[in-house]
Amino acid sequence: MNAKNKKILISLVSILLILDVPLVLYLFNFKNTAFDENFYKKEFQKYNVYGKLQDYDVEKINNDVLNYLKSEKEESIKNDFFIQREKEHLLDVKNLIQKTINFYYFSLILFFILLISLAFLLDQNIKIVKHFGIIFIISGALTFFEAFAFFAAVNMNFSSAFDIFHNTFFQRGTYTFDPSFENIVNLYPEQLFFGIAQRIIFNTLIFSFFLSLAGILFLAAVKYNALKIKKYIKGIKNRR
């Protein structure tokens, strides 16, 4: 491979890596938040779910739902707490979550493939560290600003964002429920999903900050080593 083609390939792999990093961070935090039982307990207390459903074992029902959503089996949830219409919606949610998790694993595998490919293309250790430092700074900054903009949009009008999300991924009429006889909206009020969105965004902001910080440290290490080498060469010349 000639130098020009190699440079183009390095640029292409670098761009793909920068674009892939935000996906990995968002999806990682989504996966961790969506199945965090302790998080749901806090949210249930916060929005008085235990009080509204005091005749039910809320935590067991929620654990059943989370285990159902994690399972790859294509079947309706076996739970008398929900009526058939709610079970059909949960099946839609399950299919969407399974696709999201699969996409997360794909993005994660792609990240490591791109990272290893870039290391082989760059050859020299100094170049690798410097290039990775630049990529981490750019991808971290990109993720940070995206997450900040998303946070502002969600906080400004979460109900509209929630409706847009449902209109995009579910058939109209399949995701609206009456709390007087359909338990799904009592167990999972809209505010709970606002809390989920906030946590995903907040954790992504933290990850992106530390990623950019790692990039800065990489570049600082390269600069420090370059100064040491320069000083060493200068010392040899002076001895001559």
Q: How far apart are CA 150 and CA 202, in angstroms?
A: 10
pLDDT band for 232, please (50, 70, 90 cuts): very low
- Tokens 């995701």 -> residue: 175
Residue 99: what pLDDT?
94
Looking at the predicted structure, is the pLDDT value of residue 24 above 70?
yes
Region label for 188, one of left (φ > 0), alpha (ψ between -120 and 50) or beta (otherwise) = beta
pLDDT band for 119, please (50, 70, 90 cuts): confident
| Contact yes or no for 139/18 (Cβ under 8 A) | yes
Quick count: other Cβ atoms within 10 Å of Cβ 134?
16
Quick count: other Cβ atoms within 10 Å of Cβ 22?
22
Residue 197, token pair as written in the block: 């969105």
Q: How far apart are CA 109 and CA 105, in angstroms?
A: 6
| Contact yes or no for 133/25 (Cβ under 8 A) | no
Domain that holds residue 129: 3-239
Looking at the predicted structure, is the pLDDT value of residue 43 above 80?
yes
Percent of the chain residues topping a pLDDT of 90: 57
Q: How far apart are CA 120 and CA 238, in angstroms?
A: 37
Residue 58: what pLDDT?
94
CA angle 106, 207, 68 (to 5 degrees): 50
Domain count, the chain: 1
Widest CA span in the chain? 91
Q: How far apart are CA 94 and CA 66, in angstroms?
A: 9
pLDDT one-digit tens code per residue, 184-213: 999 999 999 999 999 999 999 999 999 999
State the DSSP string of 16-28.
HHHHHHHHHHHHH
Residue 120: what pLDDT?
87
